[in-house]
Amino acid sequence: MSVPTIATVAELAGVSTATVSRALQRPDKVQPETRRRVLEAVAATGFVPNSQARNLRSRATRTVILLVRDISNPFYLEIYKGVEEAAMRAGYKVLMGDARDDDERITHYVDMVRARHADGLILMVGRFPEALKTELSRLPPIVIALETFPELVLPTVSIDNIAAARQAVEHLLELGHRRIAHITGPLPERLAVDRLAGYRSGLAAAGITADEALIVEGDFSLDAGRKAVRRLNETGTSFTALFAASDQMAFGAISELRACGLSVPGDVSVVGFDDIVLADAFVPPLTTIHQPRFDIGRQAMARMIGLLGKEPAAANLVMETRLVVRGSTAPVRQHPHPNPRTKE
Amino acid sequence: MSVPTIATVAELAGVSTATVSRALQRPDKVQPETRRRVLEAVAATGFVPNSQARNLRSRATRTVILLVRDISNPFYLEIYKGVEEAAMRAGYKVLMGDARDDDERITHYVDMVRARHADGLILMVGRFPEALKTELSRLPPIVIALETFPELVLPTVSIDNIAAARQAVEHLLELGHRRIAHITGPLPERLAVDRLAGYRSGLAAAGITADEALIVEGDFSLDAGRKAVRRLNETGTSFTALFAASDQMAFGAISELRACGLSVPGDVSVVGFDDIVLADAFVPPLTTIHQPRFDIGRQAMARMIGLLGKEPAAANLVMETRLVVRGSTAPVRQHPHPNPRTKE
DNA sequence: ACGCTCGATGCAATCGATTACATCCTGCCC
DNA sequence: GGGCAGGATGTAATCGATTGCATCGAGCGT
């Protein structure tokens, strides 16, 4: 009563295992009548080819691993969907892993590919373990999405974080804001560094020198947004607008601002980054930078398929972002609200 | 320059492949000196055992698939984390799949297990394909989480949806609400049916007959929440409170209520279900039913490990939920707000 | 010193499907 | 009718690691 193998089917159909394999893989290579008998036997036994064996022989798994920075950020879900769609279409499966931006975990997933659990890796993580950089030639097929590692030559699908961040700041400037705070991502990382650079360049273009006290480091999480606002309040620096490097941080910031009795956008305008699903259901609906998540996923997978097919490497792709103006930003008040600590 | 195999290592270390395998698998079976030489050779070649070959032989993959109803619902992320933690600890990997509650996709994932891509399947989907019910004896190891299929005897980790929904309704009743609307999940499904039953039983216990016009079917999504409110407004039925079968729907509903000029909780109190991450950052913070997501995931994986280890089946588990009261519910007004359509 | 035990290691079968090559058979042409 | 082409099918090698069994040799007891 064990699992049926190709031999079980062969016996039942009265043919050799080779014929069974051919009947299933290259139908035109066997006679219709034989094929019918084989298919009948397959149905009767409930046979499903053991993919371990098949892959061992064919040296492919038709599976790719999608490794994300932090799986609890819903932002990545939409990307997964894009990857999955392109993969499904090409007969690939997708495995999602949570890197938690931890070198060990990342290396673990790279080893999974080396161990032939999967054919390739789509990376959306903030770090690239040093240990791996030294053995670039041994690396499995890798596509980078969202993030960029300029020192590595790997196919990449990304967005222009500098320009996007700058656009967010320009929007606030147009509304008359001058004291604009910024909650960054984890700072040694490119993604965070670029958005910060965009913020600075936006201010600079308007002739404003960035006040370092208005820049607080976060880590893209909800809680980081809350803490950042608390930190800004503690230092007592006043501001009328806030640009957060992720929607989650924007949400956290708004929730904390409200807790301090400040209204958004009445007292403080807030801009996020990502345009996650809940952004427009939030109260107020969040003004943010929209990223074409689904397409980023799809393109990344397309590149992976190309890579695995030994096609000539496609050029790196920079996807378009756009500013979505909703209710969390408004023109600055004539007399900016004082810092909440000094309020009442 | 191809990938190193166990033979490459064996040659370099001057031993047989068997010894290499043993040095790596059961260190106590080889002499320390031999082992040292083998490990040296492994390091030198960068050898990583091919898991296809290993698993083919050992008939296990140490991978489980976590199949969820809809991957874009962030609710599942926390569950994934629980599963992943328990899995990692036991040396298992976790693959997450998106079922989209589609029979074909579900069957596809079941076949992945049959094809030995994974050892077992943790299901968190609303449907159980009819086709599979007829071949129960052939099914791979399956654990059901969150959902229940009473007609199937499979290890299950769930919550008491009826009691939890009832508790939500009781909270609203205590605040004086009498006209309580309910947005259900997709209705043929157990999860949705149970929460609806809890809603009805809560009302009944207070001597109130449910007004069918106040019950609108949804599908757990943000958009379903918005549409449901629109639908309620169209029919012109007035209500002072709303119980949504998911937080996402609650968010959608609140956003739509606001768009109609109603305040929450001023005009309408809203209770959700799930307590997703953003629930307390929302404005107003959402009153909802908290589910121990992380533990549900962990327990489900624990059951799977037991199942794979051929341990005697553990009893089904019902996890505790609790009502979390936040800012989206308030005592009913003396004179309930009229239906927004008839307003002004 | 002989024989026996037991630990370390090697040999080769094995997991299950794929596929190069061999074999057989049918049918066609001269 | 003989020979040969070509299609259908079978045989067996192969992918790479694991593991039962065989072998070898060191150590020990008498």
- Distance CA(A326)–CA(A292), nearest Å, equals 18
Kindly identify which residue of chain A lies nearest to residue B91, measuring between CA atoms: A108
The pLDDT of residue A298: 96
pLDDT in tens, A242-260: 999 999 999 999 999 998 9
> Is residue A159 within a helix (H) or strand (E), and if so which, with residue range?
strand A156-159
Å between A44 CA and C25 C1'?
Answer: 30
pLDDT in tens, B260-280: 999 999 999 999 999 988 888
- Distance CA(B146)–CA(B139), nearest Å, equals 20
Å between A110 CA and C16 C1'?
Answer: 27
Pick the CATH number of B60-160+293-320 from 3.20.20.150, 2.120.10.30, 4.10.80.40, 3.40.50.2300: 3.40.50.2300
- Distance CA(B159)–CA(B139), nearest Å, equals 24
Q: Domain spans of chain B?
A: 6-49, 60-160+293-320, 161-291+325-342
Return chain B residues 214..243 having CB < 7 Å to nucleic acid strand C: none
Q: Is the pLDDT of residue A341 over 50?
A: no
Kindly identify which residue of chain B lies nearest to residue A4, measuring between CA atoms: B114
- Distance CA(A172)–CA(A74), nearest Å, equals 26
B186 upstream amide cis, omega within 30 of 0: no
Return chain A residues 217..236 having CB < 7 Å to nucleic acid strand C: none
Percentage with pLDDT > 70 across chain A? 96
Q: Cβ A78–B72 below 8 Å, yes or no?
A: yes
Domain B6-49 belongs to what topology? 434 Repressor (Amino-terminal Domain) (1.10.260)
Q: Cβ B77–A71 below 8 Å, yes or no?
A: yes
pLDDT in tens, A188-204: 889 999 999 999 999 99
A265 upstream amide cis, omega within 30 of 0: yes
Å between A59 CA and D14 C1'?
Answer: 12
Same fold, B60-160+293-320 and B161-291+325-342: yes
Q: Classify residue A1 as exposed, middle or buried by CB count within 10 Å of its CB (0-12, 13-18, 19+).
A: exposed
Q: Which of B55, B80, B114 sits opposite A48 (nearest CB)?
A: B114
The pLDDT of residue B179: 96
CATH number 1.10.150.120 is the correct assignment for the domain at B161-291+325-342: no
List the structure tokens of B58: 């050992």
Q: Cβ B281–A61 below 8 Å, yes or no?
A: no
Average pLDDT of the segment spanning B13-26: 91
| Residues of chain B contacting residue A71, judged by C-beta atoms under 8 Å apart | 77, 80-81
The pLDDT of residue A66: 92
What is chain B's mean pLDDT, rounded? 89
Tokens 């969820």, residue? B68
Pick the CATH number of A58-159+293-320 from 1.10.1740.10, 3.65.10.10, 3.40.50.2300, 2.40.50.140: 3.40.50.2300
